[in-house]
Copies of this chain bind each other. A is one copy, B any other.
């Protein structure tokens, strides 16, 4: 966990830290910060080794498949596990209530927070109702509304990202899809409260980034975060959607690569086999990571936090001059 870097760790945490440091030196990688939350040393070691190794084409594809796994926990699965007294709020006060995004308030580790997140559906009915987690401007406006409430009342904002992308439909376009994705990001840039985002499944393009401009951005071990889906990329660049696996490997949408590229701050470990295998354990690990990330930024003054948030994203990209 990122927090441990700054605060003196406890006894068993110290041991974890030594192991992590050794592995980090071995692999010469600045990652592993997300791995400290699991208490079991053996599994920790396995996880660290798996995360630390350079992912192969198969590894990347496995993350793509796990990120989209139908049994993978969705935002509401986490909400009920990591929040007490969750109250979901509804509506954008303009046009509708977009079920592809959920937003609400709840108690996290004893303090009130706002939660926003994409929501996919598991069965066919729910998937249709949730529009496969693809939000419309209405959804982003709902998220913005709840974030504004949080900001006014001093509640930190947690955001869970899990979408194939913003909905590519006629009315979504007519209602200003591009503009609202932009305004949602701007609203997050301006928040005075601490914010932590975590990609918990698919972090698909603009639809994902709309709610991911946070003080800390985490990614679960098997989540993906990408500018375009592997299929979309393959169709455009290889002119063959069947080349998705190749495209994914070229794209590097996996957590390990996102960390290396400086796009995320830490990787959140998942239970053995992936988050779908054990929702409770996945939630426990996620909650620990969110708590640690929040703690890192909670101490700052609002202005300072906002400047740091801006500086963090300002630095992204690679250039030669």
Give me the interface of A with B, judged by CB distance under 8 Å.
93-95, 137, 175-176, 179, 183
Contacts and interface: CB of A to CB of B under 8 A. Distances in A.
Residue with the highest number of chain B CB atoms closer than 10 Å, among A93, A94, A175: A94
A176 B91 CA distance: 11
A176 B137 contact: no
Contact of A137 (B94, B175, B183): B94
Contact of A175 (B94, B179, B183): B94
Contacts of A93: 176, 179, 183
A24 to B, nearest CB: 45
A94 B176 CA distance: 6
Contacts of A137: 94
The 8 nearest A-B residue pairs measured at CB? A93-B179, A93-B176, A94-B176, A94-B94, A94-B175, A95-B175, A94-B137, A95-B95
Given A93-B183, A94-B137, A95-B95, 7 more contacts: A93-B176, A93-B179, A94-B94, A94-B95, A94-B175, A94-B176, A95-B175
10 contacts: A93-B176, A93-B179, A93-B183, A94-B94, A94-B95, A94-B137, A94-B175, A94-B176, A95-B95, A95-B175
Copies of this chain present: 2
A56 to B, nearest CB: 45
Contacts of A94: 94-95, 137, 175-176
A276 to B, nearest CB: 37
A183 B92 CA distance: 13
Contacts of A176: 93-94
A137 B94 CA distance: 8
Contacts of A183: 93
Contacts of A95: 94-95, 175
Nearest to A141: B94
Nearest to A182: B93
A249 B317 CA distance: 70
A92 to B, nearest CB: 9
A228 B175 CA distance: 33
Nearest to A183: B93
Contacts of A175: 94-95
A137 B176 CA distance: 16
A142 to B, nearest CB: 13
Nearest to A174: B95
A297 to B, nearest CB: 26
A199 B120 CA distance: 50
Residue with the highest number of chain B CB atoms closer than 10 Å, among A93, A137, A175, A183: A93
Contacts of A179: 93
A129 B110 CA distance: 55
A146 to B, nearest CB: 16
A95 B175 CA distance: 6
A95 B176 CA distance: 8
A94 B93 CA distance: 12
